[in-house]
Chains A and B, each alone.
Chain A
Amino acid sequence: MPNASDTERTLVAAATAPAGRRVPARAVRMLAFTVCAALILSWPGLAPNPYILSAGVMVASYACTATAWNFMGGFTGYVSLGHAAFFGLGAYGTGVLIRDLDWPPFAAWLAAGVIVVLITVPVGIAALRVRGASFVIVSIAFVLILLLVAQTWQDLTGGSDGLVVPRPFPDLSRPEHHRAFFYLFVALLAVMLLAWWAIDRSRFGTGLKAVREDEDKAQALGVPTRNYKLVAYLISAFFTGLSGGMYALWFGDLDPIFQFSVLLGAYMVLMALLGGVRHLYGPLLGALIVGGALEYFELEFGGTQLHLVAAAVLLGVVVLVTPDGIIPAVRDLVRRFGPQDSSIREMTAAELLAHNRASGRGGPPPDEAPDEAAAPGTGEER
């Protein structure tokens, strides 16, 4: 599967290497993709007991939320710590539609996703008026407000007593239930990855990345940044809402303190940052590591707060060691110890010379070869 960063990864190679060398790289990538996909799909068969299987479902749900977050955070660089708001809205929307209106579970699930989008429109218009740290604060405020609403509005949400969501497959045994939802989460994740990939290569995606790099400049080049950001925010909210709804159907018991939790939003950010926000599989990799670790700590140390300490340490390590995430860091390592390409600077200087001679134009080289460039056609201005 071609991905987010073909262009980045082959940055040097594309400029310098003969085209033939890229074919094996593509084959290797296809192989890696197939192996990883097969491993993920065979997890329910590999899991030794239902508890481990359910941990796998949890990790899959983390992978969904982190990837959903990345539609906003990765493309536009707007870091939202409040994405749990969409998760909670999706979860409660699904639960309430089933409980009060008797909707079929998966119709309720989809409808809840749409409701999340409708609620997000005004919120996004307001929140996206600010940038940087201010946006982070606004996003946190949103989830805290919803937490209070969900706790107080007892009639609708059940408040702190919780809301029990009827199980969609009442006939399944518990392990079968976990297995079914593992595949449902993976299917949802696959849809998200496909959407992310399509956006990444689209004109819309190019505009969003330009916003991430330099929003003013993007505007000056004619990118309708406000609309683009809002659409990205809505897509991100939609998928986060669907993840929340799926969680509600799987877990079956909702409590505001866990659904509208700033911590959950922070995990999404941590996972995406750890794997690499500019990469298609970054959030997925981050979710495997962080989600796996969280489940491990839960198993080993039970109710202690040790998992929080571990998450904090991990965040520190990410920021200090691999600010761009694991995937770019590993890629750089491979490139450093792999077959040596000439550095970009060397190549360009050499190519520049050849280029100039070939085209017979004296002008171009800005810094590399000023002497040569100074000759024709420049005297008159000075």
Chain B
Amino acid sequence: MTAHEPPRSLETVDLTKSFGGVRAVDGATVTFRHGRINALIGPNGSGKTTFFNCVTGMIRPDAGTVTYRGQQITGRPPHRIARAGIGRSFQLCRVFPRMTVLENMLVAVRPAGLRDLVGGAGSPAETDKARRLLVRVGIDHLENVEAANLSYGQQKLLELAGVLMGDPDTIMLDEPAGGVNPALIGRIGTLIRELNDEGKTFLVVEHNMDMVMSLSHHVVVFDRGRPIAEGTPSAVRADPRVLEAYLGI
């Protein structure tokens, strides 16, 4: 790596996870750098989501290490990893359906020990912050509505706002453009770019190639559980290995 590259943010070395006989992630060694919008692409079943889950602690990897800003986070419980500064969304958006939009936001407030047992769900400052984030994604008028009553697109925006509530440095999005209309894809893209300008590092799994190519600084291509190519969007697009794996050409 050359000297002028930004510092390393998230790194994995030989990360491996098998389900039964299938090696979903197979010795993946990847480095994501700070301040970039990184994309993770690859055909279905290439291990992108499992990789995500290993990094965020939802699944314990069989072997290998995950390092975040120089700190070993392999095998830590998910809430610790979230606390370390990695926020994530889920493939097929997940919100808390029977809680209001504002309550959804306040879930991500940092616990304060025994004080959690008394007092309100969020301090005035935290509630203000939640409302500002809802304004930012454009669903602040729905704060008292149960999340189950939101449209799919609104739920996606709520999920993103909820992730932001925890002040993550690195935001991992699993298919942010999946199942939403083109207008909203554009809006989510703009949000990602704005947040990146504010210094957030992104790691985005996405199938929408237009979005990936226009948005990301760095693309990593997965196939059969490991990276087979990486580089700038244009370099990756021209790589014959990628064409073969991804497009089956």
Contact = CB atoms under 8 A, between A and B. Distances in A.
Nearest to A348: B142
Interface in A322-370: 344-345, 348, 351-352, 355-356, 361, 363-368, 370
B111 A210 contact: no
A381 B211 contact: yes
Interface stretch (A8-16, A263-271, A310-318): A8-16
Contact of B118 (A12, A198, A210, A352): A198
Interface stretch (A101-109, A168-176, A215-223): A215-223
B98 interface: yes
A235 B95 CA distance: 27
A224 interface: yes
B121 A217 contact: no
Given A216-B78, A366-B152, A378-B190, A10 B144 contact: yes
A377 interface: yes
Interface residues on B, range: 35 or more
Contacts of B90: 216-217, 220
Main secondary structure of the interface of A (DSSP, over half): helix
Q: Taking each of B79, B95, B122, B210, which has the highest tally of chain A beta carbons within 10 Å of its own beta carbon?
A: B79
Nearest to A369: B183
B117 A204 contact: yes
Nearest to B189: A381
Interface string B100-113: 10010011111110
Given A203-B120, A207-B107, A380 B214 contact: yes
B75 interface: no
B96 A11 contact: no
B69 interface: no
B181 interface: yes
A223 to B, nearest CB: 6
Contact of A203 (B56, B116, B187): B116
Interface in B159-186: 162-163, 165-166, 180-186
A219 B78 contact: yes
A361 B211 CA distance: 22
Given A203-B106, A203-B111, A210-B96, A222 B142 contact: no
Nearest to B137: A364
A191 to B, nearest CB: 15
B228 interface: no
Interface in A136-169: none
Interface of B: 56-58, 77-79, 82-83, 87-88, 90, 94-100, 103, 106-112, 115-122, 137-139, 141-146, 149, 151-154, 156-157, 162-163, 165-166, 180-187, 189-190, 210-211, 214-215
30 contacts: A7-B144, A10-B144, A203-B115, A203-B120, A205-B121, A206-B107, A214-B95, A216-B78, A216-B94, A217-B95, A219-B82, A220-B79, A221-B87, A222-B79, A222-B108, A222-B166, A348-B142, A348-B145, A351-B141, A352-B141, A363-B138, A365-B138, A366-B152, A366-B157, A366-B183, A367-B152, A370-B182, A373-B184, A378-B189, A381-B185
Interface of A: 7-8, 10-12, 14-15, 198-199, 201-207, 209-210, 213-214, 216-226, 231, 278, 344-345, 348, 351-352, 355-356, 361, 363-368, 370, 373-374, 377-382
